[in-house]
Amino acid sequence: MRKSILIATVLTALAAPAVADSYPVAGRWGQSSSSSPGPIDCNRLRVISFNGDERTDSDGGVPAYRNKSIAKTGSTYRIVDEFSTGQIRNAHMNYTLTQTDADHIELNMKPGGLLKLQRCK
């Protein structure tokens, strides 16, 4: 009896999906080089949304990214996302996220470069 309970416990743990961390920011963020405080109108802008462990980008061929890992180093987060499309399966994207203030973040999407974002209204 104990052996079957142990086996069932191990199988349940192995079958459970891995739970990734939530992103360090949430909500909708529009591409902007402005340093003005406060949220902006994001109509007609590229918008990146963070919701729990999912990230979407209005300007891209990937419907959604899932967070795989987050490591904080000072004020910067090193992030690894995982994504799949119809042609690509379980690919990874590495980048850094820095929150410069409550309304501004920067994503260093190597090799894509620095992307400055401001919180959307």
The domain segmentation of the chain, as residue ranges, is: 20-119
For residues 24 and 8, what is the distance between their CA atoms, to the nearest angstrom?
35
User: Cβ(31)–Cβ(116) under 8 Å?
Assistant: yes
CATH 2.170.150 describes domain 20-119: no
The pLDDT of residue 8 = 42
Element housing 38 (H / E): none
pLDDT (0 to 100) of residue 17: 45
pLDDT of residue 7: 46
Written as tens digits, the pLDDT of the chain (121 aa) is 555 443 444 334 444 445 568 999 999 999 999 999 999 999 999 999 999 999 999 998 898 999 999 999 999 999 999 999 888 899 999 999 999 999 999 999 988 899 999 999 9
pLDDT of residue 6: 39
